[in-house]
Amino acid sequence: MLQGTALPATATASTYTSTSSATPTSPRPSRLRGLSYLRSYTSHHLHSSNVTPPTSRSEAPPLTRSTSYPNSPTRGESGSGSGIQNGESGWVPSVQGRSGLSRDSAQLTATTTVPAAPEPSSSMTRSRAATALGPTPTNRRQSTTETTAVDPATSTDMATSASSSTAKDSLPTIRFIPHVETRSTRPSLLFTTMSRTLRTTTSIVRVGRYSERDNNNNSTTQSTSDFLPVGFKSKVVSRRHCEFWHSNSQWYIRDVKSSSGTFLNHVRLSPPGQESRPFEVNDGDTVQLGIDFKGGEEVIFRCVKIRIECNRGWQKSLNAYNTTAHKRLLKNAGVVPRKTRDSDAASVNSSSECSICLNPVAPCQALFVAPCSHVWHYKCVRNLVHGSNYPNFLCPNCRFVADLEADVEPVEEDEMEFEEEEEEADGEVGASREEEMEGQRQGSSDTDELALSSRPEGRVGGSEDDDLAILLAGASLDPSSQHNSSSDLSAAPTTPGKLTATATRPVAISPPPGQRSSASDLLGAGAFSTTPTSTMQFALLAEGGMIADGPMTPRNDAGPFVLDGSAGRSVGRGILEQVVGDEREREG
Amino acid sequence: MAGSNKRIAKGQELADITTNPPEGTKVKLADESNIFIWEVLLDGPEESVYAGGHFKLKLVLPTNYPFKPPVLSFETRIYHPNVTNDDKGSMCLGILRSDEWKPPNQIRAVLKMVRDILVTPDIDNAVEGAIAELYKSNRKWYDKQAKEWVAKYAGKK
């Protein structure tokens, strides 16, 4: 079947099906109502099925059929192989065709079928379940490679917990980092990383086009204004484009009648000139302001792509980890007790300060340790390091010439090795190391155990969502444990329950998981669970990977739906093939 | 060279050296708006022939200081083998030479070195061959000459 042509038809089919099958009694209900009905229905059943697994299997098939099989006879007749394809291609455009609102719930319904339909007979549901599961490992892998091993979900969790625990970090901070999409053909607007710390809890970060007046206002009314302007020098950014604010340890974004749109994780928040409702923003989310205009060839017509980093103050401030790490680093480098062997010892200051800027070398700084154990701020010696004679580094302190490209060989007495360089973003490096360390601490226990052990945790939480998440975790961690090295594991399994819970939990405004227990609560929350979180994005990526690039597949990086066709494709394919392979094994 | 300028701009060296100057020196900015040009007032070391003299020196920091050495020159004329015997009064010696200079070196060390040089001229690296020759052959005459110059040029404060 040519998938490109199949897209529109199946798209409408699936949207239609899911709603109609959800509420068989009412002929044409609102989507939201139908879905919430379905949600409560399935979750209710799932809840009981979780308590008594054997009976759930007998219950399951009618439920699955009703949710996922369409009414059209053609799809019912299609074989297992094409059924999968159908399922995929039907699934993706339904994502496109709907608003973010219904889409999120749609994904949930797809995943709810996972535990209910373990039989291989319903091949399509299984494939759907697999694709729905797919994103989780993809997400992790992408985040490890792209964003220097800081898993957004976990870090947000840690960030919020840290910020709530320490009074010092009480005022929330948000950072805007230029987001580079690996796939995009041209760069978006370049800007320097900006950080804003709210002055009061009710402060609002106003994002818009850069203007001098904003800056002047900023300087004059620094202490009084509750608005923190953030300006971008791009014409596609409206003067008042969007706003960020913070409430109940959660950041929110709202489009304030921008003309060219605000995209949170590639989903447009509101039509042109309309104000959007608040959307939850989490650490690691991407926000795009506007669309490239006139091809974006001129810099001022480029859209702005931002990666959001929020509440990471704990990472940049002094904490036990980075202080000890710093000490150990200097100790291992032999810096602290170093004897100065310089000729003019009087002029060479003590080694705990950077001899270039004469400031002390402290934790939370990007440092450069030369093989001769001299330490400077990376920024101070950057020009010496990346000079014309690059691989050779002439130590400004002792004139020892070091070959920076020399092979790094393990040192016997040191269990840890230190690269000469910590990059500019040493906070992130630190975080990744931290995760590494945590991975080592928990290292011996394997992932399967962790996934299993996390299940009771989820139960304590008491909500079906968490249970689902745990099930997802169990299923999604498996492939990673099978064909992934320790690096992947170290990043992931620190808190698998927590990770997946946040990753899959779509609830925008909700109490902590321990507090909500009843299905009605969940339902109420589910009705608002519309935030296109970062996981959603990756889910789309993985789904997008399944379909070939048909003429209907939107692949622009500027359009309202920036569906990524390439990222995560190989991973997605791999999972699909695995699933298909499993299928054949069972059948054959 | 933001890092290097910060070293000057944040006034680490300047503040340190003005609040706690090396013995017999006073340092200030020649022009408050230009942190690259320092004015140094140096008293002739007591144990040298330059005792009693007050020498004015100009210290020019290169823009990429501390990666390049500062340039030091005597504005007050001085009879010394290591200082050019003209109105430039430039000196190029020891750690001031670009191949000897190391970024960790500080102005404090430079001033200390200048004082040492006044006490004990570095004959082997002399820029004024005649004075060096005289220093070696006829120390008395040299001392007399130097003292005359001190009285003539460096007497007044």
Say what the pLDDT of residue A392 is: 86
Span(s) in chain A for CATH 3.30.40.10? 334-417
Residues of chain B found within 8 Å of residue A346, distances taken between Cβ atoms: 109, 112
The whole-angstrom separation of Cα B55 and Cα B124 is: 23
Q: Chain B: give the shortest CA distance to residue A379, in Å.
A: 7
- Which residues have C-beta within 8 Å of that of residue B109, sequence separation ≥ 6? A344, A346, A347, B95
Provide the sign of the torsion angle of the four alpha carbons A435, A441, A442, A443, taken in this order: positive
Q: Given this model, what pLDDT does residue A241 score?
A: 92
Instruction: Locate A367 and state its tokens.
Output: 């440092």
Q: How far apart (Å, rounded) are the C-alpha atoms in residues B91 and B96? A: 8
Alpha helices (H) in A134-188, listed in sequence order: 135-146, 152-165
Q: Go through A210-234 and write b for each residue having 16 or more CB atoms within 10 A of its CB, e for each that does not.
A: eeeebeeeeeeeeeeeeebbbbbeb
A357/B7 touch (CB, cutoff 8 Å), yes or no: yes
Tell me whether A399 touches chain B (CB under 8 Å). Answer: yes
Q: Name the E strands within A84-193.
A: 173-178
Residues of B with a known catalytic role: 92
State residue A264's pLDDT score.
92
**pLDDT digit string, tens, across residues A494-532:** 444 444 444 444 444 444 444 444 444 444 444 444 444
For A394, the token pair is 């002439």
Strand-strand pairing, A204-209 and A227-232: parallel
Residue-level pLDDT at A587: 56
Q: How many CA atoms lie within 13 A of A132 on its CB side?
A: 27
Among all residues of chain A, which has the CA nearest to that of B109? A347
Q: Are A96 and A553 in contact (CB under 8 A)?
A: no
Secondary structure, 3-state, A471-532: HHHHHHHHHHHHCCCHHHHHHCCCCHHHHHHHHHCCCCCCCCCCCCCCHHHHHHHHHCCCCC
Nearest to A137 by CA among A547, A564, A517, A482: A482
Please write the tens of the pLDDT for every residue from A451-497: 444 444 434 444 445 555 455 554 444 444 444 444 444 444 444 44
- A382 contact residues in B (CB cutoff 8 A): 3
The answer to whether residue A338 neighbours chain B at the CB level (below 8 Å) is no
Nearest CB neighbour to A347, from listed B6, B67, B104: B104
Give bridge partners of residue A207 from the DSSP assignment.
Answer: A230, A242
| Average pLDDT, 10 consecutive residues per value, chain A (588 residues) | 42 41 45 54 49 42 42 42 41 40 40 41 42 40 38 40 45 85 76 84 87 61 68 89 89 91 91 90 89 78 88 72 77 51 39 77 83 85 83 85 82 51 42 44 41 41 48 47 43 42 44 45 43 45 45 52 51 54 59
Residues A49-99: tens digit of each pLDDT: 444 444 444 444 444 344 444 444 444 444 444 444 444 444 444 433 343
Residue B67: is it exposed, middle or buried by C-beta count within 10 angstroms (0-12/13-18/19+)?
Answer: buried
Using DSSP's 3-state secondary structure scheme, residue B75 falls into coil
DSSP B102: -
- Nearest-by-CA chain A residue for B94: A344
Nearest to B6 among A357, A382, A383 (CB): A357
pLDDT of residue A569: 52
Residues of A with CB below 8 A from B107's CB?
none
- Tell me the C-alpha distance between A135 and A546, whole Å: 12
Name the 3-class secondary structure at A467: helix
Q: What is the CATH number of domain A334-417?
A: 3.30.40.10
Q: Which of A340, A343, A347, A359 to mutate to test the interface with B (most CBs of B within 10 A)?
A: A347
Predicted pLDDT at B18? 79
Q: Is the Cβ pair B66, A356 closer than 8 Å? A: yes
Q: Flag whether residue A59 sits within 8 Å of chain B, measured between CB atoms.
A: no
Contact B67 A358 (CB under 8 A): no
For the CA atoms of A21, A27, A32, A38, the dihedral, rounded to the nearest 10 degrees, stands at -30
Computed over every residue of chain B, the mean pLDDT equals 82
Which segments of chain A belong to CATH 2.60.200.20? 173-310
- When pLDDT is averaged across residues B114-142 and rounded to a whole number, the result is 87
Instruction: Note the pLDDT of residue A431.
Output: 42
Task: Tell me whether the omega of the peptide bond preceding residue B104 falls within 30 degrees of 0, making it cis.
Answer: no
Look at A358 and B106 and tell me if their CB atoms are within 8 Å: yes
Backbone Cα Rg of chain B: 16
Which domains does chain B possess? Answer: 2-153 (3.10.110.10)
Strand ranges in B1-157 using DSSP code E only, listed in sequence order: 25-31, 34-43, 54-60, 71-74, 90-91
Cβ-defined contact of A379 to B7 (cutoff 8 Å): no
pLDDT given at position A470: 52
**Which pair of tokens denotes residue A463?**
């909500």
CATH for A173-310, among 1.20.1250.20, 2.60.200.20, 2.60.120.330, 3.30.365.10?
2.60.200.20
Q: Cβ separation of B103 and A359 shorter than 8 Å?
A: no
